[in-house]
Amino acid sequence: MNFISGSSNPQLTEKIVEKINNLSADGKAQLIPLEISKFANDEKRVWIKNKELVHKQEVCLVQSFNAPVDEHVVETLLIVDALERLGAKSVTLIIPWLGYSLQDKVFRPGEAIAAKVIANIISQPFINRIFLLDLHNSSIPGFFSVPTHHLFADAIVIEHLQKNLDLSQTIVASPDFGGIKRARIFAEKVGLDLVNIDKSRNLKTGQVIAHELHGPSVENKTVIVIDDVIVSGSTVIESAKLLKKMGAKQVYFVASHGVFCQGLSKLEKSAVDQIVISNSIQQKPNSSSKLTVLDISSIFAQELLA
């Protein structure tokens, strides 16, 4: 199997190739050179330079659908078409962060189920299978018409927390009622108590307010808040503020995906002590002293070799 990267996350693609070669007996996975450019009219153009690495080969395409989201979706479709025209045997698509996945239902009459629209667009006949990571809604793989695998980063997150925290003085929190199931599963894996934050969000403005806690006391405890994605960071800010008000010693906010559409400056000034995310979305180096980025390449490498 050879690999090709879209423009969204080439660093993760390189890490997956490295892990594949370290784990497999032959160690022959290669990165296929790709040129991505734009015409003067702003249309994307892709060119795969090496036909030998593609023809009659299984090819794995890695692309996160982060900003600019629409460009990365179109870019993915163009790369898949180019691979098919060069005679690739099959294409496996890895989408570490599935943009539009938060629009998984109709919140107001007249809205689209954008997650399903994207799944329909991406479900190309030439794509053999798709790998997704830590989705907001576990029913989303059912939107795709090709075999789709939902993977999780829990093991890597737990290993990191066990190395860096005294779990005997730690408690897990869900940032809202919608995330209780995810947080409860995580809490059971590490054998910790669970509290829930009563949070409300204005669907029009996106403003978040954390009202109160439900569950055991967090006084003098380190609290691990579990979520799937940080978009603007308002949930992080409000959750940390409430938990510190209730006596928490430290607040770790853990999410698989860091979108950070409003940057990190407000989070840097907030009450949160540490934000732990994965490299599903490529981050700028040294963007925040409070940010820890965990490598998830082994999750995909192991699944591809299974």
Identify which of 290, 199, 269 has the alpha carbon closest to the alpha carbon of residue 239: 199
The CB-based long-range contact list for 289-297 (8 Å cut-off, 24+ gap) reads: 290/264, 291/258, 291/264, 292/160, 293/258, 294/153, 294/156, 294/157, 294/160, 295/15, 295/156, 296/12, 296/96, 296/133, 296/153, 296/156, 297/12, 297/15, 297/16, 297/18, 297/19
Residue 34 and residue 22: Cα distance in Å, rounded?
Answer: 23
Question: Three-class SS of residue 18?
Answer: helix
**Known active-site residue 44:** no
CA dihedral in degrees (140, 127, 120, 283; nearest 10)?
60
- Bridge-partner residues for 149, per DSSP? 131
Query: Residue 91 CA to chain centroid, in angstroms?
Result: 21
Contact indicator for 275, 253 with CB cutoff of 8 Å: yes
Catalytic position from the list 38, 44, 189, 199: 199
Active site members: 199
